[in-house]
A = this chain, B = another copy of it.
């Protein structure tokens, strides 16, 4: 029986082994003292707790550049997600096959959601249409939304929204990039632009707390 210790897993994940054990303990006592965790059993328990043992139907709304790329992406199916439908407002798109599946018109949105019992929706429309699409999805029964449009969606309680903002990802990289450049300049004896007017350091003595890690 192949096993892993919390120490091995922690090293691989780059975290503290005690934290890892404590996190696992929230799921139950699935380890064997003196041995470790049965890999297969552990994987199953985590998968179950995370909801990976079920199949989740999702719909993608807005089949443009990004929506089409998502539809073609094979990584979803392998993690238990099934694209139930592709929906677009453009009449010219209707019936056109994308990733081997015909695009359906937004008129069908409510029917598609209900017929397939869809609870997760992906929004890849322009920003201007996102809130409206969101409201239709929620009204039809969707309770989780993955939003790619650069807008903050307002939803009723009980509905989860996750926003993927690629520009912010780049901004975070740029922020650290600038910081590196500043440190380099400081090491060269040049006054770095950012630290030109030093005032106070953040709690960690380095990065301001406003910045995500």
Task: Give the interface of A toward B (CB within 8 A).
Answer: 22-29, 48-52, 54, 56, 58, 65-66, 68-70, 72-73, 75-76, 78-81, 119-120, 143-146, 150, 158, 160, 162, 164, 166-167, 169-178, 180, 193-194, 197, 199-202, 208-211
How far, in angstroms, from A208 to B24 measured CA to CA in the complex?
9
Whether the Cβ atoms of B26 and A167 lie closer than 8 Å is: no
How far is the CB of A61 from the nearest CB of chain B, in Å? 15
Whole-angstrom distance from the CB of A111 to the nearest CB of chain B? 21
Q: How far is the CA of A68 from the CA of B202 in the complex (A)?
A: 39
- Residues of chain B with a CB closer than 8 A to A58's CB: 170
Bound Cα distance from A209 to B22, whole angstroms? 9
A145 to B176, CA, bound (A): 11
Asked whether A51 and B208 contact (CB < 8 A) given A28-B197, A66-B69, A68-B69, the answer is no
What is the distance, in angstroms, from A154's C-beta to the closest C-beta of chain B? Answer: 11
Pairwise interchain contact A177-B56, C-beta atoms closer than 8 A: yes
Q: How far is the CA of A202 from the CA of B29 in the complex (A)?
A: 14
Q: How many copies does the complex hold?
A: 2
Let me know if A23 and B209 touch, CB within 8 A.
yes
The closest CB in chain B to the CB of A64 belongs to: B69
**Contact yes or no, A170 B56, CB < 8 A:** yes
- 9 A-B pairs, CB-CB below 8 angstroms? A26-B199, A26-B210, A54-B174, A66-B69, A75-B166, A78-B167, A119-B177, A164-B166, A164-B169
Is chain A's binding surface mostly helix, strand, loop or mixed?
mixed
CB distance from A204 to the nearest CB of B (A): 11
* Docked CA distance A146–B174 (Å): 11
Given A68-B65, A202-B26, A162 contacting B172 (CB threshold 8 A): yes
Q: Which residue of B lies closest to A176 (CB)?
A: B160
